[in-house]
Amino acid sequence: MIKITDLHKSYHIGKNSLHVLKGINFNVNEGELVAIMGSSGSGKSTLLNIIGMLDVADEGTYTLDNIQIKDMDETKSAQYRNKFLGFIFQSFNLINYKTALENIALPLYYKGLKRIERQEIAMQYLTKVGLADWATHLPSELSGGQKQRVAIARAMVTQPKVLLADELTGALDSTTSAEVMDLIQKINNEGKTILVVTHEEDISMMCKRIVRLKDGVIVEDKVVNQIKATTHV
Amino acid sequence: MFNKDSWREIFDTIRKNKLRTFLSGFTVAIGIFIFIILFGFGNGLGNTFQSFFNDDKSNTMFIFPGVTDKPFKGYKSERRIEFDNSDLKDIQQQFDYYLESITPRISDRATVKFKGEANSYSIRAVSPAHQYNEMTIMMKGRYLNEDDIKNKCQYAVIGRLVKQDIFKNIDPIGQYLHAGGHSWKVIGIFQDDGGDREERMIYVPYTTYQKIQSRNNKIDQIILNYNVEIGYEGAMEFEKNLKKFLKNKKDIAPRDSGGIYIRNLANDMKETQQFASVLQLIISLIGIGTLIAGIIGISNIMVFVVKERTKELGIRKAIGASPKSIILMILQEAIFITTLSGYIGLIAGIATLSLIGDTLEKNYFITNPYIEISTAIMATFILIVFGALAGYIPARRAARIKPIIALRDE
């Protein structure tokens, strides 16, 4: 599903150049649930952003679903993001003046679906994350866990190939974290490929594979015995 | 992107961001409103100014006889020159090409009586052309005509205030009034924009007046209108030739500064027009200034709006919005709001102007303030264009920002 070879990325801040990714080689197969671990500054979020086409690499190749992602203009990458990728952010990033249902339906708007269809599909996903009763509520009226579940529904609504989650439990307490991770595991069990960036050990243990980054290189890549999020509570 | 769905998305955004919408709409509406009011007031001021000069036609020359300064051809100086009917004819023949109309004027004052009422009024003995160069407006009946002149009829055309003063509620047409020991049949009532003094005037045929006053052929002054097509230069030339002709006829030394006086309104008119164009310039500057203030206002708000929405735009991009759709969304919203509120400001401004009407005429010299509808629409259009432009520039920048940077914006 994802093939990355010899990926480099530097940031230039003033005169200083910061070499964040120093040659990453990394493959993900369909249906995997991968945790990308590392302390802050290890380059894990940068890697996720490149995979998510929110950022571009300086060197190396990146293939997503057999399509090489290279030199894409904004319009094209927006199209690909809409089609192949779903994002889940630490700070939820819901649009604050839209209701839960409207937030979920928005990617479908950019996909070009009709309004009726959009609302139908969005409602299905809202039901799937267990928030059907909250459809008309604004994000400000939802709890952190509920917001993140809305964000997950929004990420899944276009049926992307890969879900990318950046510290998705970072703003949640441990009970809520477990609930959200339970949802992630269920979605994964249905066959969706998911990448989770985290610095929390217990979250990474709920994944099926852990990739550990340190100073821009992969130092460990191991398959683990997945812990069920439900047992964790 | 201009389909029903994108409109729905925009209405949704507008409805849920009322303060933002109100602020940008209000700026445009108030900008247009103030523009229209100020421009209208400026035009009203211009109207008042124009009306000060409404009394006489601007292509008029007044010719007065005077006293000579120099001896000439055996005549002593200090000789009094007089005009008579032959001068009228000679000018008519000599300067036919320049002339539009010509009339003599004999001015007098008499006590006018009707039944119990009596008052002193100015009498002007004139020919029909006088109506034209005094811009006398008939309210009822008719003005003097050529037959009245030829038949020396004892007819009088009276001013609106004469009627008011001595006829009260009686219809004066067909009534006889007494003046200078003779009775005159009233054939018409007039009004004049020149003011009350002009409306306390009585016009009678000059031939009749000459007959009953035993003034023979004497006339006080000659008033003529020249063809406007000869222009300012032509009018000056005409004045010079006319003076030369009359001096020659009346045996006045060519270098004599007295004897004949000509008041040419073309001179006044030149100054009047200069003043009016300065006034117009000031009005235009006020208008442009207001418009620029409006443009700056709406630009500020648009920049602020896009800045405020940076994160939202980043989210939209992350979930698949193309840069084009982002720009279109912001533009569509900006144009919709500015057009709608511009229209509201336009209607409110024009309504206010027509409501003000003539209420400011007395104290503020603003008569009938108005704005050409095309000017108002043009101003609204300019504001819409600049509002869109002011939205487009930050929108394009926002659409170019990598979503990851936009998302980081807290």
pLDDT at B1: 47
Q: DSSP characters for A14-79?
A: TTEEEEEEEEEEEEE-TT-EEEEE--TTSSHHHHHHHHTTSS--SEEEEEETTEE--S--HHHHHH
Determine the distance in angstroms separating the CA of A85 from the nearest CA of chain B, rounded to an integer: 8
Chain B residues touching residue A161 (CB < 8 angstroms): none
Distance CA B288, CA B389 (A): 18
State the Cα–Cα distance between residues B369 and A28, nearest whole angstrom.
Answer: 76
Q: What total number of domains does chain B contain? A: 2
A75 touches chain B (CB under 8 A): yes
A93 and B13 in contact by Cβ < 8 A? no
Pick B319's closest partner by Cβ from A49, A96, A110: A110
Interface touch A110/B320, C-beta < 8 Å: yes
Q: Provide φ and ψ at A210, rounded to 5°.
A: -120, 130
- Six-digit token pair at A39? 């302390």
Residue that is last in its domain, among B234, B265, B296: B265
How far does chain A reach from its first CA to its final CA, in angstroms? 32
pLDDT of residue B409: 55
pLDDT of residue B52: 65
Same-domain pairing of B382 and B301: yes
CA distance to partner chain A, nearest, from residue B318 (Å): 7
pLDDT value for B130: 85
pLDDT digits (tens, 9 = 90+) for B141-154: 888 888 888 888 88
Q: Domain with A7 in it: what CATH number?
A: 3.40.50.300
Q: What is the pLDDT of residue B2?
A: 54
Chain B residues with CB under 8 Å of A154 CB are 319
| Beta strand extents in chain A (DSSP E only) | 2-13, 16-28, 33-37, 59-64, 67-68, 85-88, 162-166, 193-198, 209-214, 217-223
Distance CA B336, CA B332 (A): 6
* Same-domain status, B91 and B49: no
| Contact assignment for B16 to A98 by CB distance below 8 Å | yes
ipTM confidence score: 0.86
Task: Residue A52: list chain B partners with CB under 8 A.
Answer: 318
Q: Do B289 and B254 lie in a common domain?
A: no
Q: What mean pLDDT comes out for the span A102-126?
A: 92
Q: Do A54 and B402 touch (CB under 8 A)?
A: yes
When CB atoms are compared, the residue of B9, B13, B16 closest to A109 is: B9
Residues of chain B with pLDDT under 70: 1-2, 50-57, 215, 269, 361-362, 406, 408-410
Instruction: Determine the pLDDT at residue A106.
Output: 92
Total domains in chain A come to 1
Residues B285 and B388 in one domain: yes
Residue B73 and residue B49 share a domain = no
| Residue A169 or residue B402, greater confidence | A169
User: If you count residue pairs, one on A and one on B, with CB atoms under 8 Å apart, how many are there?
Assistant: 69
Percentage of chain A modeled with pLDDT above 90? 42
Of B5, B317, B407, the CB nearest to A78: B317
**Together in a domain, B11 and B73:** no
Do B233 and B286 have their domain in common?
no
For residues A87-98, average pLDDT: 88
Q: Tell me, what's the pLDDT at A122? A: 94
Please tell me whether residues B150 and B15 are part of one structural domain: no
Other C-beta atoms lying within 10 Å of the C-beta of residue B86? 10
Q: Looking at residues A19-35, what average pLDDT do you find?
A: 91
Start-to-end Cα distance in chain B:
29
* B239, B265, B291 - which closes a domain: B265
Quick one: pLDDT at residue A36? 92
Distance, CA of B228 to CA of B214 (rounded, Å) = 37
Q: Identify the domain containing residue B298 by its residue range.
A: 4-53+271-408
Per-residue model confidence (pLDDT) at position B315:
87
Alpha helices per DSSP H over B309-322: 310-318
CB contact under 8 A, B321 and A110: yes
**B316 and B369 share one domain:** yes
Nearest Cβ partner for B16 among A52, A78, A97: A97
B83 and B198 inside one domain: yes
Secondary structure E strands in B10-165: 60-65, 83-84, 99-114, 117-126, 137-141, 155-159
Residue A120 pLDDT grade (very low, low, confident, very high; cuts 50, 70, 90): very high
CB contact under 8 A, B320 and A55: no
pLDDT, one tens digit per residue, over B255-275 is: 888 888 888 877 776 777 777
A46 touches chain B (CB under 8 A): no
The dihedral region occupied by B344, where left means phi > 0, alpha psi between -120 and 50, and beta the remainder, is: alpha
Distances in Å between the alpha carbon of B344 and those of A208, B23, B30, B32, B364? Answer: 62, 14, 9, 9, 27
The continuous run of DSSP H or E covering B222 comes out as strand B221-226
> Strands, DSSP E only, in B130-181?
137-141, 155-159, 176-179
* CB neighbourhood size of B342 (10 A): 28
Residues B48 and B67 occupy one common structural domain? no
User: Whole-angstrom Cα distance, residue A141 to residue A101?
Assistant: 13
Domain boundary among B229, B248, B265: B265
Q: What is the pLDDT of residue A32?
A: 92
Same domain (yes/no): B164, B296: no
Order of strands, sheet of A33-37, starting from the edge strand that comes earlier in the sequence: A85-88, A162-166, A193-198, A33-37, A209-214, A217-223
| C-alpha span between B371 and A192 (Å, rounded) | 67
Distance CA B35, CA A138 (A): 41
The overall average pLDDT reported for chain A is: 89
Q: Is A154 on the interface with B (CB under 8 A)?
A: yes
Among the listed ranges A193-197, A210-214, B309-313, which one has the minimum average pLDDT value?
B309-313
CB B366 within 8 Å of CB B360: yes
Q: What is d(CA A27, CA B228) in angstroms, rounded to the nearest whole number?
A: 93
Q: What pLDDT does A135 receive?
A: 92
Cα-to-chain-centroid distance, residue A32: 13
A201 φ, ψ to 5°?
Answer: -60, -45
Print the domain residue range for A211.
Answer: 2-232
CB distance B407–A82 less than 8 Å? no
pTM (2 d.p.): 0.65
